Chains A and B, each alone.
Chain A
């Protein structure tokens, strides 16, 4: 009996700490967005919305997989309506809008902003994150220092917009005030038949997550969604893991 009371006190305190840290798990009416095992790594098993997530890539191939991963999450965040701002610094925007449709996102719901330099990108990112009517904001940057990431975090805490900062080839993987740090890299696909390329496989690393459990997964992405490869040749579809989780 006493032990149970202790547990509830601890849970209560944890919830309060989460709230102070800008987390939103355990809030009433917040449901998982449907990322399966990946989502279970977040506090409360719910992908943290109203926060900035950091993604790092070091090669153009990995950058594409990272954009693809952002696409998957965006699809869950803005399935039918809502719009998104995609900010990049001028020479580096290579996203091909028509391909976003394969992720279930209407490209016309995305506003692409090409900033001239890093400083402008940060400014646009911050202004966009302050706009409560957006579903999500994606920023493509190189460097992000701690102070700038704090500014972004403060903006989203007010507006509850979800932000993604994709850092391509940063000099150092310095500490930032984002809730999570991801690395998505390509992985060799496993194809049962021997013609064609099959569905894409990614190695998804969750290096840091605030109040959650970092982890690493190999996922297979098909237009239907993500499926996890727990062991070789064992594929758990998203909808299945969601039910059991």
Chain B
């Protein structure tokens, strides 16, 4: 089947939008201007003003000379981008593959869509009609390539449908600017007297490349369909997507849940057949008034377990506001990974256990966030704060073993706390120490265990650790930082032993 591309151009996008807002401006010449390098420059003009000679990029003062009754408003340069993106989203009713062309055009890949409207001509009529109803002036053209459609749309007869056979003929009468060339190439073509494309279409490629660069050749080849031109769809087409239109608007949580379950079952069944599992999933709810709401979930491992996925969504259903009700649900799985029946066992637990735990982790990370879940693996460092590292996944295995030959406290303070001590002689454990206002008499002690700074990671003083027990039997991990020789000794409490 041949490709069919429709290009829609909105020559007066911004001013049409203004007219929708302020209908009293109809028939009045007006322009939108911006301050640029100390001058007011026109950024958009309406049809009436354009006919009288006001053009885009002219200085307001000049325009006023042409059209004295011209009304000038402040422009908003963010607006066209927003408008065109919203229109692209809206155009998804005509084809799923819509992309934005600059700030004033849309490109629709209509392949296989036109018959639903009863033919190519009716398809274009429908598009034009819809936009006209909203008050937007459009020019459309349909062709087999983006290049030709764009050229005809901007420079040819609007509303024309170009077939593959007369593509070349149609193009040959159009000016070179219709090829979307760079200004430099256009200038050169103009200088050499190429007023239409027909003038240079049949010149050997080598000669053209030498004079005008590869850009011209690429554009020409794209327009003639010799080279593929990629379109970037406004919404990437997810291969794993399911839709559920509703006869009546759904307003209740129960209704949404029922719909969600049905969608999940369909999606998971399909993934089961293809031995795939999803990593993230998005539910879009289209409300009657045109509002689209979505909830997204992510999983730690590829999964196609309906009940589990449902639970993950269930936590977020409350965030939807159905108001008048949803008319369409779509469930999309943008990230899909291979999932075979057997997976590596986690922590020597059986496979089903592992799946259960992964599901629990998903649930927790869905509610609180992934940052809340930690799993630790041993790291080869003596420095206590670095003796463990965070595991990046549930399946990561320890590369080294945990050390148990040296005493380590079960509770460690996040930051060691200063204590005041009384020490009989240097390099001895303290006789007593004061921590948070309470005095602890040391009865028994172990140590010192000297831990040096890892100089390749951090500079600082070494620590001499002591394990001490007070009269109550409470055990502490104390350390002394610094040398007695240099007189900068500080004592800290770092942890508690059981």
Q: How many A-B residue pairs have CB under 8 A?
A: 163
Cβ contact within 8 Å between B469 and A197:
yes
Q: Are B497 and A64 in contact (CB under 8 A)?
A: yes
Contact indicator A110/B375 (Cβ below 8 Å): yes
User: Any chain B CB within 8 A of the CB of A239?
Assistant: no
Counting CB contacts under 8 A, is B247 at the interface?
no
- Please give the distance in Å from B472's CB to the nearest CB on chain A: 6
CB-contact partner of B498 in A113, A123, A221, under 8 A: A221
A97 adjacent to B498 (CB under 8 Å): no
Q: A60-B496, A112-B374, A223-B404 are in contact. Are A188 and B472 (CB under 8 A)?
A: yes
B230 within 8 A of A: no
Q: Which residue of A lies closest to B436 (CB)?
A: A60
Query: Smallest distance from the beta carbon of A36 to chain B beta carbons, Å?
Result: 18
How far apart are A13's CB and chain B's nearest CB, in angstroms?
37
Q: Determine the distance from Cα of A200 to Cα of B470 in the docked complex, in whole angstroms.
A: 12
In the complex, how many angstroms separate the beta carbon of B358 from the nearest chain A beta carbon?
A: 10
**Are B404 and A133 interface neighbours, CB within 8 A?**
no
**Cβ contacts under 8 Å, B443 to chain A:** 188
Q: CB-CB < 8 A to A182: which residues of B? A: none
Query: Per a CB cutoff under 8 Å, which of B377, B446, B471 touches A197?
Result: B446
Chain A 174-191: CB-based contact to B (< 8 A → 1; otherwise 0)? 000000000000111101
Q: A156 to nearest B CB, angstroms?
A: 15
Check B376 for interface membership: any CB of A closer than 8 A. Answer: yes
Q: A98-B387, A113-B368 are in contact. Are A71 and B410 (CB under 8 A)?
A: yes
Q: Which residues of B contact A154 (CB under 8 A)?
A: none
A127-B363, A186-B474 given; A112·B376 CB < 8 A: yes
Q: Is A83 an interface residue (CB 8 A)?
A: yes
Given contacts A186-B474, A200-B497, contact A120 B367 (CB under 8 A): yes
Closest to B413 in A: A94
Is B411 a contact of A198 with CB atoms below 8 Å? no
Q: Which of B368, B373, B444, B497 contacts A111, CB < 8 Å?
A: B373
Taking a contact as CB atoms under 8 Å apart, the answer to whether A127 and B475 are in contact is no
Across the two chains, which residue of chain A brings its CB closest to B385? A96
CB distance from B304 to the nearest CB of A (A): 19
Q: Does A101 contact B (CB under 8 A)?
A: yes
Q: Does B352 contact A (CB under 8 A)?
A: yes
Q: For residue B303, give the distance in angstroms from its CB to the closest CB of chain A.
A: 15
Q: How far is it, in angstroms, between the C-alpha of A128 and the C-alpha of B367 when the chains are bound?
A: 13
Question: Once bound together, how far apart are the Cα atoms of A69 and B471, in whole Å?
Answer: 21
Residue from the set B367, B384, B411 with the largest chain A CB neighbour count within 10 Å: B411
A67 at the interface (CB under 8 A from B): yes
* Alpha-carbon distance A3/B329, docked complex (angstroms): 71
A123 touches B367 (CB 8 A): yes
Contact A113 B373 (CB under 8 A): yes
Cα separation A112 to B446 with both chains bound (whole Å) = 30
A63 at the interface (CB under 8 A from B): yes
Query: Which residues of B450-471 have CB atoms within 8 Å of chain A's CB atoms?
Result: 467-469, 471
B: contact size bracket: 35 or more
Cβ–Cβ contact A65 & B376, under 8 A: no
Smallest CB gap from A127: residue in B: B363
> Does chain A have a CB within 8 A of B360?
yes
Given known contacts A196-B444, A197-B467, is B349 in contact with A64 (CB within 8 Å)?
A: no
Closest-CB distance, A133 to chain B (whole angstroms): 4
Residues of A close to B361: CB separation below 8 A: 111
Is A108 engaged at the interface, CB distance under 8 Å to the other chain? yes
- Band of interface residues on A: 35 or more
Task: Determine if A43 is an interface residue (Cβ-Cβ < 8 Å).
Answer: no
Say how far B312's CB is from chain A's closest CB, in angstroms: 12
- Within the complex, the shortest CB–CB distance from B17 to chain A, in Å, comes to 44
Assembly CA distance A223 to B407 (angstroms): 11
CA distance A98 to B411 in the complex (A): 10
| A131: Cβ under 8 A from any B Cβ | yes
Chain B residues lying within 8 Å of A132, measured Cβ to Cβ, are 356
Q: Indicate if B174 sits at the interface (CB-CB under 8 A).
A: no
Partner of A83, one of B357, B374, B413, B446: B357
Judged by a CB distance under 8 angstroms, whether A134 is at the interface is: yes
Nearest CB in chain A to that of B472: its residue: A186
Q: Distance (Å) between the CB of B380 and the closest chain A CB?
A: 12
Contact present for A114 and B414 (CB under 8 Å)? no
Taken residue by residue from 79 to 105, chain A's Cβ proximity to chain B (1 for < 8 Å, 0 otherwise) reads as: 011110100000000111111111000
- Nearest-neighbour CB distance to chain A for B145, whole angstroms, equals 55
Least distance between B399 CB and chain A CB atoms (Å)? 11
Chain B contacts of A188 at CB under 8 A?
Answer: 443, 469, 471-473
A69 to B476, CA, bound (A): 17
Encode B31-61 as 1/0 by CB contact (under 8 A) with A: 0000000000000000000000000000000
Given the complex, which residues of B lie within 8 Å of A96, measured CB to CB?
Answer: 384, 408-412, 495
CB contact list, A178-234 vs B, under 8 A:
186-189, 191, 196-198, 200-202, 221, 223
Instruction: Report the minimal beta-carbon distance from A218 to chain B, rounded to whole angstroms.
Output: 10
Name the 7 nearest CB pairs between A and B, nearest first: A68-B498, A133-B353, A133-B356, A61-B474, A188-B473, A64-B496, A101-B402
21 contacts between A and B (CB under 8 A): A64-B496, A71-B498, A81-B349, A83-B357, A95-B412, A98-B408, A101-B402, A101-B403, A107-B388, A108-B377, A109-B347, A113-B368, A113-B374, A114-B372, A115-B368, A128-B360, A133-B352, A187-B473, A196-B446, A197-B446, A197-B468
Beyond A61-B474, A131-B357, A198-B444: 6 further Cβ-contacts under 8 Å? Answer: A101-B404, A108-B376, A114-B372, A131-B356, A191-B444, A197-B445
Q: Which residues of A are at the interface with B, using a C-beta cutoff of 8 A?
A: 59-61, 63-65, 67-69, 71, 80-83, 85, 94-102, 106-116, 120, 123-124, 127-128, 131-134, 186-189, 191, 196-198, 200-202, 221, 223
